[in-house]
Structure 1
């Protein structure tokens, strides 16, 4: 019914998977069954409302909906509650209306959460996504990584005590455009990318452990340094450094969402000064966060 109508459908089998995928996939709407193998549909709806308050949820029941059931779903945050068998035309009309409302809300937030020049999240948008991803990882006992990058003008060969041009290059419009294009092209669809400051950008990578975070940092750093310039533009050659922190099980090692950026940023500063440690085998430009 939905796919022939032009919708892309993501199917999950459990409530836990629904909570995890809703945060990572960012759907326009969720159809949620009352009876799930692991969780109660109402409780899942309530958690979705906490994590994604603007996400439309339609509760679906196998039996006729009583007044009490409808009110319970509405209190849990659902936009509607329908019973099988459902009228296909009615369902499609409601999905269309609710999805349009969700997209309007998303566009209204873009001015607050997205950098208009590059289309990447700004600091506020990154913080919001960090809260959502940490909450999902806690529930799923999943891994989560944060990588913070800095781009410096290539003034000299990088060595101990040399950090390139001090990080100012990333503030230049041409460089920001180049960085944004490279990140959009080479990051994974599940990654959240944005500007953490005027001169640093960050990637939140769900389901990524330390080894995966190091590979991600290397891949994106190489992509940015070798990205071709726009026609008619001569941007400076760049040296890209990165710091990262990765948690294998966020439930077992709780972390404040914003602390992820602080830890990865501290590792970035070490990378910029060329201090070598355990990450030296990969090159001093990539550093893992380590507690003092």
Structure 2
């Protein structure tokens, strides 16, 4: 799907893609994009950054949040001139996978589209079970790793950083002997999950990756940004527990993180990023620190 009210260049692109096996739905305004996207479920959506009737970044946010289109549909943005680093970050936060500077190189775009469509088709065919944690409604460990793959790809295309911050509550006092069925622990993790969901950015992915461990994968976030993210989450979680009934157990939140300054030049596998953050969290616990950076490198 291409939404653009330009004629110059876009018509030629439409013809070129058609010659190479793509069915192209062309829209000339932003207003019908959501309705048509819900109807046809495109493999890739291309938006013009200068749509006359709609802010393209707002439209991208709406598309990303729609349950029928979702996070796995790549959204690309046609731009004029060379975007600044700030413009890349703003677009990334809005759910834009890549910025396409005009004039376009059709052959380069074709290779990108082939890669994106193949990945989208593989994701659509993959089993959807076990991607969401039953207790919290967050991503499961498997679901977070899959989502992290997309976010790291987006960070690479925006020529920026990516980080993972892993958290765990350290409960004060002796273990609760009456919690044989795990109800108190479940209440604790549900309470923390609710706070994390309310605190996280829409561009980040949050998952429960262990019995009481949580991870946040944050594109466009370097090491300093990872610390700020951890501090924001720590402030949001009440020190005496969370508001959910049964979750009032005093604890200290600990964190470990890993960050890659530019994933285009320092590629990282999602599982490696998660694993390094997990090991940093374990070191934070052993050393009695509230937060610890990974000492490993990509």
| Secondary structure class of the residue paired with 2:254 | strand
| CA–CA distance in structure 1, aligned partners of residues 165 and 118 of structure 2 | 26
The reply to whether residue 211 of structure 1 matches residue 224 of structure 2 is yes
| CA–CA distance in structure 1, aligned partners of residues 92 and 132 of structure 2 | 17
Shift of the 172–210 alpha-carbon distance from structure 1 to 2, 3 Å rule, reads: same
Q: CA deviation at 1:264?
A: 0.6
* Aligned equivalent of 2:172: 154
Q: Is the 8 A contact 2:94 2:203 kept in 1?
A: yes
* Aligned equivalent of 1:177: 190
* Aligned equivalent of 1:37: 103
* Aligned equivalent of 1:285: 290
TM-score normalised to structure 1 length: 0.62
Shift of the 127–23 alpha-carbon distance from structure 1 to 2, 3 Å rule, reads: farther
Shift of the 254–4 alpha-carbon distance from structure 1 to 2, 3 Å rule, reads: closer
The reply to whether residue 135 of structure 1 matches residue 153 of structure 2 is yes
| Secondary structure class of the residue paired with 1:225 | coil
Find 2:78's aligned residue among 4, 13, 17. 13
Q: CA deviation at 1:260?
A: 0.6
Aligned residues: 218
TM-score normalised to structure 2 length: 0.61
Q: CA deviation at 1:53?
A: 2.8
- Give runs of aligned pairs for residues 112-127 of structure 1, distance below 5 A: 112-127=130-145
The reply to whether residue 229 of structure 1 matches residue 247 of structure 2 is no
| CA–CA distance in structure 2, aligned partners of residues 52 and 186 of structure 1 | 29
Q: CA deviation at 1:4?
A: 6.3
Q: CA deviation at 1:115?
A: 1.1
| Secondary structure class of the residue paired with 2:203 | coil
| CA–CA distance in structure 2, aligned partners of residues 23 and 173 of structure 1 | 34
* Aligned equivalent of 1:97: none
| CA–CA distance in structure 2, aligned partners of residues 170 and 200 of structure 1 | 16
| CA–CA distance in structure 2, aligned partners of residues 113 and 228 of structure 1 | 25
Q: CA deviation at 1:131?
A: 1.6
| CA–CA distance in structure 2, aligned partners of residues 37 and 170 of structure 1 | 59
Q: Is the 8 A contact 1:241 1:285 kept in 2?
A: yes
| Secondary structure class of the residue paired with 1:220 | helix
* Aligned equivalent of 1:259: 272
| CA–CA distance in structure 1, aligned partners of residues 91 and 122 of structure 2 | 12
Q: CA deviation at 1:38?
A: 4.1
Shift of the 38–290 alpha-carbon distance from structure 1 to 2, 3 Å rule, reads: farther
Q: CA deviation at 1:123?
A: 0.8
| CA–CA distance in structure 2, aligned partners of residues 6 and 133 of structure 1 | 22
Q: Is the 8 A contact 1:149 1:200 kept in 2?
A: yes
| Superposition CA RMSD, Å | 3.9
Q: CA deviation at 1:23?
A: 8.3
* Aligned equivalent of 1:278: none
Shift of the 112–261 alpha-carbon distance from structure 1 to 2, 3 Å rule, reads: same
Q: CA deviation at 1:22?
A: 9.7
Query: 1:20-72, CA deviations, whole angstroms, 9 ceiling, x for partnerless residues?
Result: 99987669xx9x99x953443433321222443378xxxxxxxxxxxxxxxxx
| CA–CA distance in structure 2, aligned partners of residues 4 and 50 of structure 1 | 26
| CA–CA distance in structure 2, aligned partners of residues 245 and 46 of structure 1 | 31
